[in-house]
Amino acid sequence: MSTFYAYCRVADDIVDEPGPSEAEKRQQLLHLRSEIKSCYEGTPSTELGFELQEIIREYLIPPQPFFDLLDGVEMDLVKRRYATFEELSLYCYRVASAVGLVSIEIFGFSHPQSKEYAVALGMAFQLTNILRDVQHDLEKYDRIYLPQTELNAFGVTETDLRSGEISPAKARLFRLQHFRATHYFHKASRLLPPVDRPGFIAAELMTEVYYRLLNKIQKRDFNILSTPVRLNKLQKMWAVGVASKKGAAINRHPRPKPKHIAVWGAGFAGISAATHLVRAGHTVDLYESRSYLGGRAHSFTDVKTGLTFDNGQHIFMGCYHSCLELFDMLGITDKLALRDTMEVPFLSPGGRMERLKSSNLPAPFHLAGALLNYGELSWKDRFAIARLGLALRLGQKPAARQTVTEWFKQHGQTPNSIRSLWEPFCVAALNEPCQHASALLLYETLRRSLFGTKADAAIYISRVGLSELFQPELQLFLNATGSRLKLNEGIRSVQWDGTRISSFESSSQANIQADAYVSALPWMTLKTLLPEEEKLTRDLASIGSSPIISLHIICDCPITDEPFVGLLDSQLHWIFDRSAHLPESERQNFMYALVISAATPVMEMKQDEFVRFMWSEVNRFFPHTRSGQILRHIVYKSKDATFAARPETEAHRPGPRSPWKNLFLTGDWTRTGLPGTLEGAVWSGQEVVNAIDQAGMD
């Protein structure tokens, strides 16, 4: 290995030596190329050549990787910019993967898959080096090893890279490089055959060191331009120790090979599944029947006004850990507006505004402050709520078949505490009224949010339409690893072969095959693709739906100066101020989203009747609007907004495994332990990675 690395160093130094001209460097590379050829002919002329000839003969190393390395370093003479990752990947293969291919010949291997391991690991190492040395490579050699298409996508210029200051655009660019390198590390881990692992100890130790370096870059929030990122000696020694323990664990439980996986549906669950699968080393094709992302939580553009609306207003909370992790992975957290403490204003018909606002005290006392200052509650109500809170803290779960109303009765909740706190929360979180909703699902929601940490109660609202939240980042991240997003490609039919899916048909192609298939489709859509006689099909048919209606209005008067407000004692539950989304030409007007959850009682109203009813409710709570008028409106009815979060539904919610070995399920409606929330959808997508690994299928 010392001899081989001496050859690598000689080749690298030829190109990077500051003195000789380009022509002289080319001549030196040509001489080195000739010396390699002579090693195979038995006529080397230098000391290094004789040493190389010895290891070539001893380990029967093929010549091509030696020449590939020379082709790679020669690229540094003529190519200082890379238009696409396809161009850059060729460079990475030549200067890094080729090194790995020679190394495994010296280490010794028996399984042909080890060559794929060497290629993937070489890519991971080189991509980590590139990310670490962005400014060094630019300042010293005038080289940029980042694809120009990706710089352009994030709006980063060469001048920006020369600056030592980090910016949101540069952080997003570097985050993409981090994601790609992580993909190759995991891919390599999956490709290493257990039979060859004992001989590759050195490579695995280097893997741990480089992987920790990559994650240190992430922990620095990608601030890599002002100060170089390195591991000190202690950190390297620690990495070596960790690698030894990891190796023993992996020998006992080797990871399945990387797969080509088709994910059906680009809602939050499908996006989560695709992103986590790619990060874990797989290759994914993500199919979506529509031209936009989001699934049942999407945005749309009104043809008449050109304005973008969400089909239903969604908020995220600090307890949405899986969502926030996904947003951070894709670098889109800055598209969210944050209230770092819980603050929810409620308005009663008498015009009194009360705020459920947590205090600055540590949990659980932050909630006590909220209850004390919430004027809708009496002391009797507060004591009842505290009693329920204690039951949650003690882990006293409700029975599986209990409704929320039955559970509240068991724990002595007062009618007014239900009216002013629990009913609004239950309808918002479960999209079901207390009398029908599953107590077990509300228990889990309350445990994580109101009765969690102070940070868990924080509120996030998307600054952009829900379909814009993931774009263009999702497509860039998928493309960065050879995966693809296929919009306007619905799933028409599935072909079955006993216990497996053999292929499927999309809107434009038949007989599409993959190693595994992940359905992130809504339950009512998936049901139509499954064989009728299957139990899963019957279970899906037993899952009911609960609707949400949103009325988007542009009016000539302000309704409220709050970002959002809840209405008590009304069928209209929430009003969200979306006026900031109006174009400059319409800033004299105001735009709001009026939302009714658990909307079954008003679903059959005619549109004109419904709009009049909603505006009359606005007038009732905000009398100053009676002189105003709605200029334009859009009614969006989502009949299947969520699954019916009722006790009887739980038995029919499936896990991630299906009756077919290569089909896996994800979605908020699967067995997440949560109601139909975006957090449940994203968590289920994350869990699919584990389900596929546990299934093996190799």
- Read out DSSP for 166-233? --HHHHHHHHHHHHHHHHHHHHHHHHS-TTTGGGGHHHHHHHHHHHHHHHHHHHTTT--SSS-----H
Does residue 130 share a domain with residue 20? Answer: no
Does residue 138 share a domain with residue 117? Answer: yes
In a domain, 334, yes or no: no
* Mean pLDDT (whole number) for 123-134: 96
Q: Which of 542, 587, 597, 588 is nearest to 567 (CA)?
A: 597
Does residue 122 share a domain with residue 56? Answer: no
What pLDDT does residue 673 have? 95
Per residue in 579-604, pLDDT (tens digit) is 988 888 888 999 999 999 999 999 99
In a domain, 320, yes or no: no
Q: Which of 457, 485, 520 is the last residue of a domain?
A: 457
In a domain, 68, yes or no: no
State how far Cα 268 lies from the chain centre.
Answer: 9
Residue 529 has pLDDT above 60, yes or no: yes
* Mean pLDDT (whole number) for 505-533: 96
**For the chain, how many structural domains are there in total?**
5
Containing structural domain, residue 2: 1-62
Per residue in 650-676, pLDDT (tens digit) is 999 999 999 999 999 999 999 999 999
Does residue 180 share a domain with residue 266? Answer: no
Residue 246 has pLDDT above 70, yes or no: no
Indicate the pairing of strand 500-506 with strand 630-643. unpaired
Query: Mind spelling out the 3-state secondary structure of 594-658?
Result: EEECCCHHHCCCCHHHHHHHHHHHHHHHCHHHHHCCEEEEEEEEEEEEEECCCHHHHHHCCCCEC
Lowest pLDDT segment from 219-228, 254-263, 433-442: 219-228
CATH code of residue 390: 1.10.3110
* Mean pLDDT (whole number) for 442-455: 89
Give the span between the Cα atoms of 452 and 445, in whole angstroms.
10
Q: Which of 192, 220, 252 is the last residue of a domain?
A: 252
Give the span between the Cα atoms of 541 and 543, in whole angstroms.
6
Does residue 240 share a domain with residue 182? Answer: yes
Does residue 652 share a domain with residue 507? Answer: yes
Does residue 661 share a domain with residue 624? Answer: no
What pLDDT does residue 244 have? 66
Beta carbons of 8 and 103 less than 8 angstroms apart: no
Q: How confident is the model at residue 435 (pLDDT cuts 50, 70, 90)?
A: very high
Does residue 227 share a domain with residue 113? Answer: yes
What pLDDT does residue 696 have? 76
Does residue 630 share a domain with residue 550? Answer: yes
What pLDDT does residue 351 have? 82
Give the span between the Cα atoms of 181 and 130, in whole angstroms.
10
In a domain, 48, yes or no: yes
CATH code of residue 264: 3.50.50.60
In a domain, 351, yes or no: no
Per residue in 97-126, pLDDT (tens digit) is 999 999 999 999 999 999 999 999 999 999
Does residue 235 share a domain with residue 139? Answer: yes
CATH code of residue 633: 3.90.660.10
Q: How confident is the model at residue 64 (pLDDT cuts 50, 70, 90)?
A: very high
In a domain, 215, yes or no: yes
Tallying the residues shown for the chain, one arrives at: 698
Higher-pLDDT residue of 324 and 305 is 324
Residue 52 has, within 13 A of its CA and on its CB side, a CA count of: 28
Does residue 448 share a domain with residue 566? Answer: no
What pLDDT does residue 25 have? 93
Per residue in 167-225, pLDDT (tens digit) is 999 999 999 999 999 999 999 999 999 999 889 988 999 999 999 999 999 999 999 88
In a domain, 316, yes or no: no
Does residue 229 share a domain with residue 132? Answer: yes
Residue 357 has pLDDT above 90, yes or no: no
Instruction: Record the tokens describing residue 472, joined without a space.
Output: 């263009």
Residue 524 has pLDDT above 80, yes or no: yes
* Mean pLDDT (whole number) for 455-475: 91
